[in-house]
Amino acid sequence: MPSSASTNGNGAVPGRTGSGDADEPLEGPAPTRGERLVALTEPGPLTIRWGLVVIASLVIAGVLTAALGGAPTYDPWAWIIWGREIIHGDLVTTAGPSWKPLPMIFTIPFALFGEAAPDLWMWIARATALIGIVAVADLAARLGGRLAAALAAVAITLMPLYYAYGVQGSSEGALVLVCCLAATSWMDERRTAAFWWLVAAALLRPEAWFFVAVVGIERLWNSPKRITWIGASGLVVLAAWLVPEKIGSGAYLRAATRAHDPNPESAAFAKSPTLEVLGSMGNLMLWLPLIGVGCALVLGFVAWRRQDAEDGGWAIDRSVLRKALFLSALAAGWIAIVAAMTEGGYAGNPRYLAAPLGLMAAVGLAGIAWLVRQLGRSGAASVGELLVMGALVVMVIVAALRLPGRTEEITYQSANRAQLTSMEHVDGFRKELLACGPLVAHPLMVPPIAWTFDLHMEDVISDEPAPPVATYVLGTNAASRPVRPKVPTGVPLDELRRTSQITVVRNCTP
């Protein structure tokens, strides 16, 4: 009996592959390895549900903080202490690091939760660092597709500064986040949103003030009616930096004065502060992003000169190249501001370069993606795949060489906090601690001691020479080297308490 379906001359039913259901569509040829690489490196923003990213980051950071604990580093300790002091109406900022407004939005309400305040702050800081990884990946995707996004996410996560400061509750993760969001907003023609993200950055670092001013002027140029809210935002930024310092120290510019009194090992004391800052930037980045920046420079130059998407080679669209140039200019501008301030006597600490670190990670990994894309287009897909695997291996190896020291420091700080807390919980120990003269400690020990024993930072002396009648907190760092003040020689010392990292001794005899 003849079939109801017609056949072609070979007896095959049209629309079939020779087997399966009649309505099964014909499948085209599978993409080649080169085509897959080209698809992975196609520039374009990621599809991100930011609400889910925020929730997931808060959950992950919360679980890690609850399970592993940890301790803030020097600056976050001060913000947490100042939050408590503001709640008590007794703000004192004469000692410690420079004031930063944005963290205080969190540390002030967190102070209401007492001993949980440090963990609450680390929860938020770690969550923003996780969100910052996604922001860097999205920025890289706009230049080099999903491959660049994945590589950039790995790179920024494994960079020692970003990893360590993210885990220890510093604000560098939040700074990278808001700066990357400002850049993507500007590229998406959402210029007002870019302005507000930069305002957030300006509440974290003074280097961002220049960029806020530039974008604010651009917004005013397009619509002078914006003068009200742009002017108000500028006043808020200035007031947030200056007024608390006036209340806490009596000087509006105490933060600037503190930053202008750097530690002896700071870049400000180098033979060439500018070269020291540039060297810090190179040292902060893993080798691969640095190599990638070179690739981006070379490939971008060639692609710009040979702009022809039809010839099968060097086809990187000029709009993508402009975005890479834009991000590079932002990073270079930020580095130049840090270098100029360092030449003027400011510290020039490596963490000041966190914002350009995120931007250049996106550009550098996009450069690697461009090279892989060209290999895929030119029939060398296997070489491109080996390059991707090699890139991941290089980043992991370099991170494995550099991260252990940071991890040891994190573990040390966590144990330091736990041991100080155990001392504070001993009945009558706080009274003993303060019974014989002032409390003396190494500068790095001052904030955790002040927090633990409910003191102002100025109540703990760190300047040398130490007075003979005093209580001394002696410690070691992660490398078991002494972190202690210079105790006067020939003074009888009574030991109050000893742990594996901290020893408390005192002399009550004039």
- What pLDDT shows up at residue 398? 82
| Of the candidates 478, 151, 108, 143, the residue with the CA atom closest to the CA atom of residue 319 | 143
Q: Is 308 left (phi over 0), alpha (psi -120 to 50) or beta?
A: beta
- pLDDT higher than 90, residue 280: no
- pTM (whole model) above 0.75: yes
Q: Which residues of 109-141 are buried (b: 16+ CB within 10 A; e: fewer)?
A: ebbeeeeebbbbbbbbbbbbbbbbbbbbbbbbb
| Of the candidates 438, 448, 443, 445, the residue with the CA atom closest to the CA atom of residue 488 | 438
- pLDDT higher than 60, residue 13: no
- pLDDT higher than 90, residue 177: yes
Sorting pLDDT into bands at 50, 70 and 90, what band is 269?
Answer: low
Residue of 240 and 256 predicted with greater confidence? 240
Q: In angstroms, rounded to a whole number, what is the distance separating the alpha carbons of residues 28 and 500?
A: 68
Three-state secondary structure of 55-99: HHHHHHHHHHHHHHCCCCCHHHHHHHHHHHHHHCCCCCCCCCCCC
Helix (H) or strand (E) holding 472: strand 470-476
Q: In angstroms, rounded to a whole number, what is the distance separating the alpha carbons of residues 183 and 6?
A: 59
How do residues 310-321 score in pLDDT, each as one tens digit?
454 556 788 888
- pLDDT higher than 60, residue 14: no
How do residues 389-419 score in pLDDT, each as one tens digit?
988 888 888 888 878 778 888 888 899 899 9
- What pLDDT shows up at residue 51? 96
- pLDDT higher than 50, residue 12: no
How do residues 25-51 score in pLDDT, each as one tens digit?
556 677 788 889 889 999 999 999 999
Specify the residue for token string 């550099």: 402
- Least confident among 129-143, 153-167, 293-307, 325-339: 293-307
Instruction: Quickly count: other Cβ atoms within 10 Å of residue 63's Cβ.
Output: 11
Sorting pLDDT into bands at 50, 70 and 90, what band is 235?
Answer: very high
The token pair that represents 23 in the structure block:
């309505």
